[in-house]
Chains A and B, each alone.
Chain A
Amino acid sequence: MKGAVIGIAGFSQDGIAAVGDTLIGALALEGYFAILSTQCGDPVRGGEASCRIRFGTTPVLNSGGVLDLAVVLDWRNFSLSSGELTVGPETVVIQDRKPGSGALGLPPGGFRPAATISAPISEIATRSGGKSLAKDSVVLGLLASWFGLPKRRILAGISSRYRAKDKTALTANERAFSAGVEFADRHPLGQDLKIDPCPARGAGRRVADGNELCARAALFAGCKFFAAYPIAPAGGITHFLQREIWKHGGTFLAAEDEIAAAAAAVGASYAGAKSMTATSGPGFSLQTEVLGLASAVELPLVCVNVQRGGPATGMPTTQEQADLFAAVFSAHGDNVRPVLAPTSVADTFDVTVEAFNIAEHYQTPVIVLTDRDLALSKAVLEPINPSQLNIIDRLEPTKAELRKYARFQLTEAGISPLSHPGMRGGSYLAAGVEHDERGIPTTSGDVHARMTRKRLNKLNPLKARRDLFLFEGDPDAHIGLVSWGNVSGIVREAVRIARAKGIKVKLLVPRLLYPVAEVVYEDFFASLMRCVVVEQSHQGQLHRLLKMWTTTPREFMSVSKSGANRISPHEVVKLIQAMEKPATERFRTHYCDLLNVI
């Protein structure tokens, strides 16, 4: 096999995350590509936990659809994770055979796997490890044997996890691993799941999740101030920066709420520091007043919103792409705030750097809309080439300009040199109330109109940034797709599969969501008869946004699933196949049936 998708679910104390982390580390060192996605129902009280890992000899675009192999540590918790872990007719299921499990240990209704194999995982763990806490190592042993994975690297992973902690635990887990391997060797599977060896090692690759990459990108871009209030799933950004930013001469503030976090970041930006805050939906709602202020006083700010299910508290640990409207229409008043979205885990780095560049160049708040799956999925990444990334700093006034300084001077580009406290001659009032070119508050309608035009027009060059879009497929295709964020990785794979089947199709993935780059979309739409926007929100928010700003193709449809419901590449391939056929009835019914959405 060239690649596989493995899913594991059980109780949150079963070491599910450890299995995933050890596997992806070993696979990366061996030269495989992989994406690991972990999920837990409730991180505090304990409950179901699951992970899925997709790996292969070629780059992996998403965490895949139906599982090739499912490891069920117990069926109750597996069922709770079934939205994440799809079991199909080709799936091989390994279930923990333990005393007292259901009749014959068979899966409950709804699961129709190719084979269900019982393995005494808990028993082996207790026997070799002395306690059942070594279940993760037993599972690693089973997988290493059945898939032919690099045992040496997995053992190294286990050892690095325990070395510093406890010698006894390390020995127990090493024994558990060997016992798992031994059991699997004695019980070969019906199907051959052996993975092809990797052709190349790939020097300099790393494993990281989107949150870590966002945080690292901030440091790389020169972020000197980060403030945040704890919230899932944005915690990873905070955990990284609260530890590391000091070493780069920066400051971290654990704010009392999200408003204070954003406000402090604006204060730091006023003082001359590149600054950022990170949150998720509920915190983002609170921060909108500060985003409005940053727009009014034209200060750079990067605001990361790691989307989760909403509204209100919503679904803190699940995926959704439903904050696009909230980002685009955040805060009151006549204003535009650029909204960017990474298109893959790796892209989170580039997009965050870009967000700083846009914020600093245009003196505006920039919203980075990442999402739970991008933020928490770990991926094997190619080395980042820093020489390809440009770092832009804000425009500061020259000495001559400081002699007659007007902070909000109307310039051709709408961008005025920005001073900061400490600069002699640069003093000005940053006022949230409307102000003239010198920053003096005003009630004049004329001045308000002029300043509004300045603040809006300065962002126009962004709409010509074709480099903020990914394009793939046949330029003259009649059918096309648009997708964004994490879902775009699924659609990209589907488009490749469809094209391999001989279907002419193309795909546009915006990293710049707002302002809407009309020209880029209309160029893309020019050859299209039919276009579908694939995304993960009930309303299909990008679809509606594009209808507001662009002239869309004749048939312009939305295929969207409400959050937490995985869209698989296979479903999108079926969609593309349906799009290709002439419409005998309204096309809408086709795709509704396909994806089972209304």
Chain B
Amino acid sequence: MISLDPDQRTPAKPCRRTAKEYANGLMPKWCPGCGDFGVLNAIYKALSAIGRPPHEIAFVSGVGCSSRIPEYTRAYGFNSLHGRALPIAQGIKMARPDLLVLVAGGDGDGFSIGGGHISHAIRRNTDLTYLVIDNQVMGQTGGQASPTAKNGSGTPVNPVLYALAYGAQFVAQGVAGDPGGLATLIEEAIRFPGFAFINIQSPCAAFGDPLMKALAPRTKIRKLEAEGHNSSNRLMAIELAEAYGNILYTGVFYRNPNPTPTFGALTEKLRRKPAISDLEAPA
């Protein structure tokens, strides 16, 4: 495998760090009142709880308002192409399994232009954490309908149901308005061994859907845990996910109690065979 920095042959031991250690001091370029500020703070908090040093984290995003998140962290950031964050992140994780790899982006980035990649990231079960910051609108370009927008089509994409249907083994939902609860979810997602998906309700301050704006305050959300949901019950999770757009559930919808092997674990044994010489003569 690729050599680490000579002084860092093995990743540093995780230790409790402060949230500040993950912020790089740049002023985020978001509208006043944007939910992304809350999401960013939740990410700092979750990362401090995990405790990996920032230089061992690769944070990938696509294009859009929320895709700017990596720019404001001290991690290695990759603000890539619209919709291509997941394949790029998988390439990083496959080349360097020891890294902590996070992906963030909007619902347009994920479920519109990048929609084709989500099912494959789930099926490969690469150990990534994918945060979709869902605001039901194409915010950066001026408020066009996004795939989760209610006014955009007859049946908007239901991100939670989508991830569950494709077989994601960790599916959760959080809200920007509850950074504390969201931080706990992100931490759990990172600790989950395999592909983890969190849909984060973060209504757009400039163009947001009034109904979703009304649902998103902390007082309106319904916590799955408090509702008595058993997160190892996938069928129940699917039923609850159907409420997307009407009831805002937060918490873990589904966590596979017996996670299947990750891409990294499955491919590790392939490397044990002896190598042929590159220039070997024909037999």
In the complex, which of the residues B2, B54, B87, B267 contacts A246, with contact meaning CB atoms closer than 8 Å? B267
> In the complex, what residues of A have CB within 8 A of residue B45's CB?
none
Q: Is B282 within 8 A of A206, CB to CB?
A: yes
- Residue interface mask B41-61, A partner, CB < 8 A = 1: 000000000000111111010
Q: Which of A207, A251, A259 has the most CB of B within 10 A?
A: A251
Q: Is B2 within 8 A of A420, CB to CB?
A: yes
B1 within 8 A of A: yes
Q: Is A264 within 8 A of B275, CB to CB?
A: no
A244 within 8 A of B: yes
Q: Is B96 within 8 A of A271, CB to CB?
A: yes
Q: Is B91 within 8 A of A253, CB to CB?
A: yes
Of residues 290 to 342 in A, which have CB atoms within 8 Å of B's CB atoms? 290, 293, 297
In the complex, which of the residues B54, B84, B94, B95 contacts A259, with contact meaning CB atoms closer than 8 Å? B84
Q: Is B279 within 8 A of A432, CB to CB?
A: no
How long is the Cα–Cα vector from A105 to B68 in the complex, in angstroms? 73
How long is the Cα–Cα vector from A338 to B117 in the complex, in angstroms? 29
A445 within 8 A of B: no
A428/B77 contact (C-beta < 8 A), A421-B56, A422-B4, A423-B4 known = yes
How long is the Cα–Cα vector from A383 to B277 in the complex, in angstroms? 13
- Residue interface mask B25-47, A partner, CB < 8 A = 1: 01000000000000000000000
B11 within 8 A of A: yes
Q: Is B281 within 8 A of A383, CB to CB?
A: yes
- B267 nearest in chain A by CB position: A251
In the complex, which of the residues A205, A220, A260, A289 contacts B120, with contact meaning CB atoms closer than 8 Å? A260
B270 within 8 A of A: yes
> In the complex, what residues of A have CB within 8 A of residue B53's CB?
424
- B84 nearest in chain A by CB position: A263
In the complex, which of the residues A272, A421, A432 contacts B81, with contact meaning CB atoms closer than 8 Å? A432
B5 vs chain A, min Cβ distance (A): 4
In the complex, which of the residues A267, A290, A424, A430 contacts B8, with contact meaning CB atoms closer than 8 Å? A424
A408 vs chain B, min Cβ distance (A): 14
Q: Is A424 within 8 A of B55, CB to CB?
A: yes
A248 within 8 A of B: yes
> In the complex, what residues of A have CB within 8 A of residue B255's CB?
none
Q: Is A421 within 8 A of B76, CB to CB?
A: yes
Q: Is B120 within 8 A of A421, CB to CB?
A: no
A421/B281 contact (C-beta < 8 A), A260-B120, A263-B91, A427-B76 known = no
B88 within 8 A of A: yes
Q: Is A246 within 8 A of B271, CB to CB?
A: yes
A267/B87 contact (C-beta < 8 A), A216-B278, A432-B80 known = yes
A267/B78 contact (C-beta < 8 A), A246-B273, A248-B275 known = yes
A431 within 8 A of B: yes
> In the complex, what residues of B have CB within 8 A of residue A270's CB?
58, 76, 78, 88, 91-92
Interface range on chain B (Cβ under 8 Å from partner): 35 or more
> In the complex, what residues of B have CB within 8 A of residue A225's CB?
91, 94-95
Q: Is A263 within 8 A of B81, CB to CB?
A: yes
> In the complex, what residues of B have CB within 8 A of residue A427's CB?
54-55, 74-77
How long is the Cα–Cα vector from A205 to B80 in the complex, in angstroms? 45
In the complex, which of the residues A220, A265, A441 contacts B71, with contact meaning CB atoms closer than 8 Å? A441
B247 vs chain A, min Cβ distance (A): 33
How long is the Cα–Cα vector from A293 to B75 in the complex, in angstroms? 20
Q: Is A421 within 8 A of B273, CB to CB?
A: no
Q: Is A271 within 8 A of B2, CB to CB?
A: yes
Q: Is A421 within 8 A of B276, CB to CB?
A: no
A430/B91 contact (C-beta < 8 A), A207-B282, A267-B60, A421-B55 known = no
Of residues 186 to 215 in A, which have CB atoms within 8 Å of B's CB atoms? 204-208
A422/B278 contact (C-beta < 8 A), A251-B267, A256-B117, A427-B74 known = no
Q: Is B91 within 8 A of A219, CB to CB?
A: no
Q: Given A216-B279, A263-B91, A289-B81, output 5 extra A-B contacts at Cβ < 8 Å.
A: A267-B90, A269-B91, A427-B75, A429-B78, A430-B80
Q: Which residues of A contact B (CB under 8 A)?
A: 25, 28, 204-208, 216-217, 219-220, 224-225, 227, 244, 246-249, 251, 253, 255-257, 259-261, 263-273, 275, 289-290, 293, 297, 383-384, 386, 420-433, 440-441
12 A-B pairs whose Cβ atoms sit less than 8 Å apart in the complex: A206-B281, A247-B273, A247-B276, A253-B94, A260-B84, A266-B88, A273-B95, A420-B2, A421-B57, A421-B92, A423-B55, A426-B5
